[in-house]
Amino acid sequence: MTTPLVEMKDISISFGGIKAVDHVSVDLKPGEVVGLLGHNGAGKSTLIKILSGAYAMDTGEILINGEKATINNPRDARTYNIETIYQTLALADNLDAASNLFLGRELVGPTGFVDDDAMEAETRKIMARLNPNFKKFKDPVSALSGGQRQSVAIARAVYFNARILIMDEPTAALGPHETQMVSELIQQLKAEGIGIFLISHDIHDVMELCDRVSVMKNGKLVGTVDVADVTDDDLLGMIILGKKPGES
């Protein structure tokens, strides 16, 4: 059996009195897509934000390639090649697509100054792959549509050769064609051996793209199942009732 890429063990975090994530364990293998499902406020985003370095967990540990990892901030996560598409997209609205794509990792010229032209050229290349209709390279991202903004966030996560990719509702604002392109992208990245956590509310998408699914309810893990073993209705039951199929 291959060592999992990521193991999150017994993770808990609370905000004030609320236990947003309560002793949850999930794992991810290379070339695997693991779906995270659950009702609104179940704790999905909070769980993955611990992996991406945005929040510090109260208890639990994270193993990357079987070794204990210390992730105290988003920079640490990046050194483990963890890239994240946040539900909120996390874009600086006043900057253009290229500045957002390279935020925190700007390309610099030989003199150490930021090379905007090189960044724009790279951005044009990757956007041509992800969203060929995208033309607004000079505008601040506040001037983009919801879907265009989402493509910028996706481009940022994909550009830097992630080995672990976290996608928090990546297609929520996308049109059918763009959603299709993201599905193809996920399959292509999976084939390259990248591990992906995919948060989505679309059970159909999850069934199609994921290998396994972990379901959360009120901060707790309901269970993790192979998609091959369950139906749409089974998953729906897990989300709503908080019970694994066959449990009573």
Partner 1 sequence: MDDQAKSMMDKLGLDARLLGMIGALVVIWIVFGFFTDWRFLSPRNFFNVSVQTASVAVMATGMVFVIVTRNIDLSVGSMLGFIGMTVAALQVQWLPSVLGLGHPMIWVIAVFAAILMGAVLGAAQGWVIGYLTVPAFIVTLGGFLIYRGAMWWVTKGQTQAPLDPVFRLLGGGAEGTLGETLSWVFGTVAAVVALAIMLMSRRRKATHGFTVKPVWAEGILMAMAAGLIMAFVWIMNSYPIPRGAMRRMTEARGIEYTDGMVWNHGVAIPVVILLAVTIVMTIIATRTRFGRYVYATGGNPEAASLSGIDTRLLTVKVFALMGALTGIASIIASARLNAVDVGLGTLDELRVIAAAVIGGTALSGGAGTIYGAVIGALIMQSLQSGMASVGVDAPLQNIVVGFVLVLAVWIDIVYRRRAGV
Ligand X SMILES: Nc1ncnc2c1ncn2[C@@H]1O[C@H](COP(=O)(O)OP(=O)(O)OP(=O)(O)O)[C@@H](O)[C@H]1O
Residues that bind partner 1 (CB under 8 A): 52, 54, 73-75, 78, 84, 86, 88-95, 99-100, 103-106, 108, 112-114, 117-118, 120-121, 140, 142-143
Chosen from Mg ion, ligand X, partner 1, none, partner binding at 18 (C-beta under 5 to 8 Å by type): ligand X
Q: How many CA atoms lie within 13 A of 198 on its CB side?
A: 33
- Find all residues with CB under 8 Å of 90, minimum gap 6, and list them: 153
Position 218 contacts Mg ion (CB under 5 A): no
Query: Using CB under 6 A, which residues numbered 77 to 136 contact ligand X?
Result: 87
Position 242 contacts ligand X (CB under 6 A): no
Report in angstroms how near the CB of residue 197 gets to partner 1 at its nearest.
16
Report in angstroms how near the CB of residue 44 gets to partner 1 at its nearest.
17
Give me the helix-helix angle, 146-159 and 116-130, nearest 10°.
110
Report in angstroms how near the CB of residue 36 gets to ligand X at its nearest.
8
**Using an 8 Å Cβ cutoff, are 196 and 35 in contact?**
no
Indicate the burial class of 132 (C-beta count within 10 angstroms; 0-12, 13-18, 19 or more): exposed
Cβ proximity to ligand X: between 41 and 74 the closer is 41
DSSP class of residue 57 equals: -
Position 18 contacts ligand X (CB under 6 A): yes
Residue 129, Cβ neighbours under 10 Å: how many? 12
**Adjacent-strand bridge partners of 61:** 9
Interacting residue ranges for ligand X, rule: CB under 6 A: 15, 18, 20, 38, 40-46, 87
